Structure 1
Amino acid sequence: MNQTPHILDELENDALTELVNIGVSRAAVSLRKMVGNQVTLSVPSVEVVGRKLAATLIQERESDELVAVRQDFSGAFNGRALLIFPESNSLELVRAVTQDELSRTEMVDIEEEALAETGNVVLNGCLATMANILQRPLTMSLPQVLRGDGQILFELAEKHDDDGVVLFLYINFAISGRDIRGYIAMLMDLPSLQSLKELIGEFIARVVGTDGGDAH
């Protein structure tokens, strides 16, 4: 079961899922411009779990090495965003981004750059949209490409891992029939998650006020 308390109630979780879906939809539009084909990104579920459980969830789903694009964010709430792929998907993603115009050798040469740019488009698009809806600015760092397993990506060796939580999203990627799937994880400590919870509460209040009590 979850190693953290239920930080978000059902309404807050639904609102956060809606925010993430809007953010990911915007990111999908930007990614479509890069790959020149239809892109579908969907977020079936949003879970808040401890870092250890998040690492376990990824390892249960993925037996091979992982590639992640990492960007730190700061503002009304702080944390780190990761776009995570099975390593076996990474060249397929580069192939999509370069629209099948490069040889395998050329793709390997630009893989890191292409992954970083893709991660930047998805993570920046998603988080910037969420920040705009929550009416708070966020600053994003430059993207960095990491490789390893869930333990490495979530830095479980760090001494303060117990108070770290992970906002864990499983994203279904579909790029013109290509077999590409990924995850987004947002790592935040409890104070940052509390700040996000308060902003979500303000967002819900605005929606309820606008819709006359209907919080859809």
Structure 2
Amino acid sequence: MIRDSVTLGELERDALTEIVNIGVGRAASSLRKMIGDQVTLSVPAIDIVSQRRAARLISEREAAELVAVRQDFDGAFAGRALLIFPESNSLELVRAVTGESLSAEDLAEMEREALTETGNVILNSCLATIANMLKRSLAMTIPEVLHGNSAALFEIDDAGDEDGLVLFLYIDFAVRKRDIRGYIAMIMDIPSLEKLKELLDEFIARVVGDDG
């Protein structure tokens, strides 16, 4: 199958997980300064799946509507990054970011701004760290906030076009003792994922060379 060409080996998966955890660690530090309180972020699992499978993975876990921050990226590899939360979690995040007890109406007004800022910090930290550690650069668009179910966020239609693959990351996200689960998804075409795999192999060779 064509998807076999972009399956990550164990070393590649471990290397990418470590790189992304460094990125979300930097994001947590930035959010800590922004919020003024403890923020913990980690990415315990990474997988490559089809867009349809990614949508199903989230819909199996999250019955509620979702909210996402989306940014496109381009460079050595290209794609679309999504930071996804269940809607109830996104409001908890807004409360944490604003540090206030807000009414539902006030929360709705502040949601887009707070989510855009948070998504920008997290996605930029992750993508910039991946690019820097792989010795490449990426350009990113301005973030935008989307609402909808998982099929809408992953742009699934009945035509069944699954050429786009998703680098799917689960996030453990805690702010001010609030447990906020979320997901990072990077939708990429096969050439971009193959390029990422190639750059990971170069990174592993450099690390092994330095250790040797």
Cα distance in 1, alignment partners of residues 158 and 141 from structure 2: 21
* Aligned amino acid, residue 138 of structure 1: L
Report the CA distance between 1:103 and its aligned residue: 4.6
- Which stretch has the larger CA shift, 98-107 or 179-188? 98-107
Separation (CA, whole Å) in 1 of partners of 2:161 and 2:153: 12
User: 1:43-99 deviations in whole A, cap 9, x for unaligned?
Assistant: 111000111111110011000100000000000000010000000111111111111
Name the counterpart of 2:211: 211
**Counterpart of 2:192 in structure 1: which amino acid?**
S
Query: Aligned runs of 1:43-192 on 2, under 5 Å?
Result: 43-100=43-100, 102-157=102-157, 161-192=161-192
Whether the 8 Å CA contact 1:51–1:161 is kept in 2: the answer is no
1:102 positional shift = 4.7
Q: Compute the displacement of 1:24 (Å).
A: 0.9
Query: Which sections of structure 1, spanning at least 5 residues, go unmatched?
Result: none
Q: What stretches of structure 1 move > 2 A for 4+ residues in a row?
A: 2-6, 101-107, 158-161
**What is the letter of the counterpart of residue 177 of structure 1?**
K
Gaps of 5+ in 2: none
Distance 1:90 1:207, change over 3 A: same
SS in 2 for 1:157: coil
**Identity of aligned pairs, percent?**
66
Equivalent pairs, count: 211
3-state SS, counterpart of residue 161 of structure 1: coil
CA–CA distance in structure 1, aligned partners of residues 207 and 82 of structure 2: 29
Deviation of 1:4 after TM superposition, in Å, equals 3.5
Task: Calculate the TM-score normalised by the size of structure 2.
Answer: 0.94
Compare 161-170 and 74-83 and name the one that shifted more. 161-170
Which amino acid in the other structure matches residue 194 of structure 1? Answer: E
- 1:3–1:50 Cα contact (<8 Å) kept: no
Shift of 1:114: 1.1
Q: CA RMSD in A?
A: 1.8
TM-score for both structures, normalised by structure 1: 0.93
